[in-house]
């Protein structure tokens, strides 16, 4: 997969949500509706605090 996922904290309600780094549409907070990420044609622009990069799991790990 080309791209990473990021855990982003909402600046309004502190909710933590996982967002794809190359989001192709606006991503809103599931709790309060604040915009967390907007598409730019490449990597998304994040509007909350990026807490961490979520590691990709290999398909071998999913079968175990």
On whether 59 is known to bind a ligand per the annotation, the reply is: no
25 is an annotated ligand-binding site residue:
no
Q: Is 41 helix (H, G, I), strand (E, B) or coil?
A: coil
Residue 10, marked binder: yes
Structure-token pair, residue 40: 């730019």
How many Å apart are CA 60 and CA 64, to the nearest integer?
Answer: 7
- State yes or no: 51 annotated in a binding site: no
Q: List binding-site positions for Zn(2+).
A: 10, 13, 29, 32
Q: List binding-site positions.
A: 10, 13, 29, 32
């Amino acid at each position: 997969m080309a791209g990473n996922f990021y855990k982003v904290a909402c600046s309004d309600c502190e909710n933590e949500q996982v967002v794809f780094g190359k989001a192709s549409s606006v991503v809103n907070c599931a709790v309060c509706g604040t915009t967390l990420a907007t598409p730019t044609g490449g990597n998304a622009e994040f509007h909350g605090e990026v807490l961490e990069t979520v590691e990709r799991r290999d398909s071998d790990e999913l079968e175990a």
